[in-house]
Structure 1
Amino acid sequence: MVAAATALTLPAMAQQNYAQDSATIKKIYDNALTSFESYENLRYLTKNIGARLSGSPQAAAAVEWSRQVMEEMSLDRVYLQEVMVPHWVRGDKEVGRIINSKLVGTADAPICALGSSVGTGDAGLSAEVVEVKSFEELEKLGKKNVKGKIVFFNRPFDNTHIETMRAYGGAVDQRGGGPVAAAKLGAVGVLVRSMTNDFQDVPHTGNTRYEEGVTKIPAAAISTNGAEQLSKLLKNDPGLKFYMRMTCQTLPDVLSYNVIGEIKGSEKPDEIIVVGGHLDSWDLGEGAHDDGTGCVQSIEVLRLMKDLGLKPKRTIRAVMFMNEENGLRGGRKYAELAKAQGEKHVAAIESDAGGFTPRGFGIDGTEAQYNKVLTWKKLLTPYGLHDIVRGGGGADIGPLKGQGSVALIGFDPDSQRYFDYHHTQIDTFEQVNRREMQLGAASMAALVYLISEHGLEGGSAKAQK
């Protein structure tokens, strides 16, 4: 009889939980969409502080600003986590120029130095150009055809991908590994087509990597319009030259910080849910979509919990990671200390894909964890969160993988416009739509609330149906 009674009460309990969760999520969205606090936080971060490359005075100012913002929220704890970060400086505005062309003579080409690149020296560098679309094509050319030249990597995005992050993933290896591959064959410099699916005159920076024992050669991004022009000219005039001047350099490492604020769990304080973005940005533009929005959305998750009087069962921790763009040292340091301190993370959610309209979440976790999130799909779809998919996470939370059963979750907004602005001078406050960004913060807060209330274990494939 007891078993039968229990069976009869389970559906009623589930129904009651659904109604309560639905009502709470509605309150989260109502509050987020009628509050201007996160948008004003973004305005201050981008307009008063601006670009925040690791090691810069602006990055230090952003650390202090975010610490103060979270301290004023009367959280249970706000603290800094020390991390040594690289200090690369761009120097003078770069000069790029097609020269010695039989068709156009001399023509300016928009370029910007890739992060971590060495400079050309004050006089600049000029050399003939050889164009390639792949590393295999470069290898086939061999030293004979590459030595003394500038290698031009011109593989575009594959625009057949609906998800533009996939297109980025299929092209970005030439930015990261191009300079080393070219230097091994005797190249004196590298140009890389900007990482965007748009046709623009704006070059997109991003980090590159050097290898011990391989000559470091200057590396620059060229705008997509510039890349198109250079490629067309090379077909008819393979002997043309390109001039580039960059005065960038790497200075000694600098002490910086991850900034962390948390609300202690009321029932399971040792179980931690992280929500975060990266506080640093490239030194071009204002770092609004990348990743100012992710930071203010993460802070907004805590504000919503406090303002609505919600008492999460598990600890919620907002982390402003430092140095995602050119080193990932903040993410690595956070994971290192979490492991050393024996912390138990049940989930980590990262927002680092812009402040656009929310579409859903990518889940990198066990089948049970994924299926548990699917049980909440009916609660989330009224708010446009239709895409609950396998795979996801993020660069800063990635180092947590393998520490217990933590689920790594990437917040996925609409991706179509992200690479218009990514790593550019036009990534400014004005490009962020307030309502879209607020919807993103509310979406993250809704998922954090559900994980805090119900945990991530015990999901089943039947839950979605």
Structure 2
Amino acid sequence: MNRIFTLAVILGSFAFAKAQKSAAAMDSTVLRSIYNQNLTSSKSYQWLDHLSNNIGGRLSGSPQAQLAVEYTLEELKKVADTAYLQPVMVPKWTRGIPEVAYFKDAEGNNTKVNVCALGGSIATPANGIWAEVIEVDGLEDLKSLGRSKIEGKFVFYNRPMESTKIQTFESYGGCVDQRYSGAQAAAEYGAVGTIVRSMNLRMDDFPHTGAMSYGDLPMDQYIPSTAISTNDAEKLHQALQEDKNLKFYLFQDSENHGDVQSYNVIAEIKGSQFPDEVIVVGGHLDSWDLGDGSHDDGAGVVQSMQVLQTMKATNYRPKRTIRVVLFMNEENGLRGANAYAAAVATQDQKHILALESDAGGFTPRGFGFDTSPLQMQQILSWKGLFKPYLIHYFEMGGSGADVGPLKDTGAVLAGLRPDSQRYFDYHHASNDTFDAVNKRELELGAATMTSLIYLFDNYGLSKKLKK
């Protein structure tokens, strides 16, 4: 009896192993077809060309943002079962006429510098501001300096991104507080404005914008905040070593206009077996007004759209509902993401995966996941399927800002992780343009996203989690 039982176990194990091997072979074949289709017949680069070169920068509340809504909606109708708009109110901010800035050195020479207003900043007075400068390494320096050394001056935040970190988003996270909260902190000590070193690992002449906030300051205490290019930050730093009393001039014309109507763009292919189980993939449709937002986040938008186009082109009918969400207002408010999550909370649907692409259109390296260790075991079992495509990064931690509000749904949150070494050369700057995106890299990213979605669609969540 024991021999019979042992033989049954062996035969059962053999059959299970054979079935696993067969499933892996089938999955490998499907992934190969996904990559082949993306590298030969993708529409992602064509869509990005239109978004970037025919529409341009898509700042929330702008006419360009509305044109992008209309364009992507019409294109998604061609590849989805349904496509529609989700209304959302978004803040509207405009830059106005170009900024002007320069400083006078110890010898009386004026040195013009490249600056751009930070998103949400107020304007300077019509004649600009002419004041001395106090340089700091971060917000923590303000307290030690005190009001007497700051009042009436520009605060110059000059802490650079940490160049030794391989994960460049960690470098960004280490100094972005200067940009976001710098004006609020400096205003509390009587500063007349802030100058913030651009969030950029490269030395160049491009100032990088981005969101800033006045927190709970009363409006009469708001001060203008501007970003300065890395090259010019170094020039200003050197000039301050020679003359602590040099003066800096800034003019900017930016304005906050309150909230206006905009939309998330949503499209889906209905699941054939489990239509109430939803896989979301998306990027943010808005961008900053400098450049045309090709990497941030035009790339993520068209890669997400491409998921549906690939399924249609390969005649793949998903088991679960695959939904593309093009979120509005990630850059300066996250209104679209919060509106989508609020709507989900009222629906009788189960989100099992929410995947975001918002790290540029560079060569894909893998994914970051926000999930449980048990679910991560299943995800890691798929890693070998991506090896032929040089995709190796499958790590816990990190997904994306727009899918973050879906955490309470129980979905696995994931973010595409492209090679990030060049990302901050373009992030929020005027050189984030279509010519900076490589067609093949963009297509590889879309294929990688589609492949992960196929696996979640085919297998669902780990059975261990369902017990």
TM-score scaled by structure 1?
0.96
**Match for residue 208 of structure 2 among 187, 204, 209:** 204
Aligned residue for 1:63? Answer: 69
Aligned residue for 2:181? Answer: 177
Taking structure 1 as reference, are residues 358 and 104 closer, same or farther at Cα in structure 2, changes over 3 Å only?
Answer: farther
The one-letter amino acid paired with 2:119 is: G
Aligned residue for 1:442? Answer: 447
Secondary structure at the aligned position of 1:262 is classed as strand
Between the aligned partners of 1:420 and 1:107, the Cα distance in structure 2 is 24
State whether residues 137 and 157 of structure 2, in contact with CA within 8 Å, keep that contact through their aligned partners in structure 1: yes
State whether residues 276 and 348 of structure 2, in contact with CA within 8 Å, keep that contact through their aligned partners in structure 1: no
**Structure 2, unpaired ranges of 5+:** none
Secondary structure at the aligned position of 1:340 is classed as coil
Aligned residue for 1:251? Answer: 257
- What does 1:250-329 align with in structure 2 at a 5 Å threshold? 250-329=256-335
Taking structure 1 as reference, are residues 169 and 239 closer, same or farther at Cα in structure 2, changes over 3 Å only?
Answer: same
Between the aligned partners of 2:463 and 2:138, the Cα distance in structure 1 is 45
Secondary structure at the aligned position of 2:146 is classed as helix
Bigger Cα displacement from structure 2, 2-11 vs 370-379 = 2-11
What are the superposed Cα offsets for residues 394-446 of structure 1, whole Å, 9 maximum, x if unpaired? 0111111122x211101000000000000011100000000000000000000
- What does 1:43-82 align with in structure 2 at a 5 Å threshold? 43-73=49-79, 75-82=80-87
Between the aligned partners of 1:157 and 1:328, the Cα distance in structure 2 is 24
Between the aligned partners of 1:130 and 1:42, the Cα distance in structure 2 is 42
Secondary structure at the aligned position of 2:132 is classed as strand
The one-letter amino acid paired with 2:340 is: Y
Taking structure 1 as reference, are residues 104 and 400 closer, same or farther at Cα in structure 2, changes over 3 Å only?
Answer: farther
Between the aligned partners of 2:375 and 2:319, the Cα distance in structure 1 is 18
**Structure 1, unpaired ranges of 5+:** 461-465
State whether residues 335 and 400 of structure 1, in contact with CA within 8 Å, keep that contact through their aligned partners in structure 2: yes
Between the aligned partners of 1:104 and 1:231, the Cα distance in structure 2 is 16
Query: Aligned pair 1:394/2:400, yes or no?
Result: yes
Aligned residue for 2:436? Answer: 431
State whether residues 103 and 233 of structure 1, in contact with CA within 8 Å, keep that contact through their aligned partners in structure 2: no
Alpha-carbon offset, residue 8 of structure 1: 3.4
**Match for residue 227 of structure 1 among 227, 233, 236:** 233
Between the aligned partners of 1:321 and 1:364, the Cα distance in structure 2 is 20
- What does 1:411-422 align with in structure 2 at a 5 Å threshold? 411-422=416-427
State whether residues 363 and 409 of structure 1, in contact with CA within 8 Å, keep that contact through their aligned partners in structure 2: yes
Identical residues among aligned pairs (%):
51
Q: Aligned pair count?
A: 457
State whether residues 372 and 459 of structure 1, in contact with CA within 8 Å, keep that contact through their aligned partners in structure 2: no
Between the aligned partners of 1:433 and 1:213, the Cα distance in structure 2 is 43
State whether residues 132 and 153 of structure 1, in contact with CA within 8 Å, keep that contact through their aligned partners in structure 2: yes
Alpha-carbon offset, residue 232 of structure 1: 0.8
Between the aligned partners of 1:347 and 1:104, the Cα distance in structure 2 is 60
Query: Aligned pair 1:118/2:122, yes or no?
Result: yes
Between the aligned partners of 1:242 and 1:409, the Cα distance in structure 2 is 44
State whether residues 177 and 208 of structure 1, in contact with CA within 8 Å, keep that contact through their aligned partners in structure 2: yes
The one-letter amino acid paired with 2:266 is: I
Between the aligned partners of 1:311 and 1:218, the Cα distance in structure 2 is 53
Bigger Cα displacement from structure 2, 274-283 vs 394-403 = 394-403
Alpha-carbon offset, residue 343 of structure 1: 2.9
Bigger Cα displacement from structure 2, 382-391 vs 2-11 = 2-11
State whether residues 184 and 217 of structure 2, in contact with CA within 8 Å, keep that contact through their aligned partners in structure 1: no
Aligned residue for 1:15? Answer: 21
Aligned residue for 2:412? Answer: 407
Between the aligned partners of 1:317 and 1:362, the Cα distance in structure 2 is 20
**Match for residue 153 of structure 1 among 151, 154, 157:** 157
What are the superposed Cα offsets for residues 235-273 of structure 1, whole Å, 9 maximum, x if unpaired? 110100110001100113110000011111111111111
Alpha-carbon offset, residue 197 of structure 1: 0.4
What are the superposed Cα offsets for residues 20-70 of structure 1, whole Å, 9 maximum, x if unpaired? 100000000000001241111000010000000000000000000000000
Taking structure 1 as reference, are residues 246 and 179 closer, same or farther at Cα in structure 2, changes over 3 Å only?
Answer: same
Between the aligned partners of 1:114 and 1:50, the Cα distance in structure 2 is 19
The one-letter amino acid paired with 1:418 is: Y
Alpha-carbon offset, residue 379 of structure 1: 0.3
CA RMSD for the aligned pairs?
1.3
**Match for residue 162 of structure 1 among 161, 166, 174:** 166
Aligned residue for 2:459? Answer: 454
Alpha-carbon offset, residue 212 of structure 1: 2.5
Aligned residue for 1:141? Answer: 145
State whether residues 42 and 306 of structure 2, in contact with CA within 8 Å, keep that contact through their aligned partners in structure 1: no
Secondary structure at the aligned position of 1:356 is classed as coil
Alpha-carbon offset, residue 104 of structure 1: 5.7
Alpha-carbon offset, residue 138 of structure 1: 1.3
Aligned residue for 2:33? Answer: 27
Between the aligned partners of 1:178 and 1:147, the Cα distance in structure 2 is 15
**Match for residue 97 of structure 2 among 92, 96, 101:** 92
Alpha-carbon offset, residue 103 of structure 1: 3.8
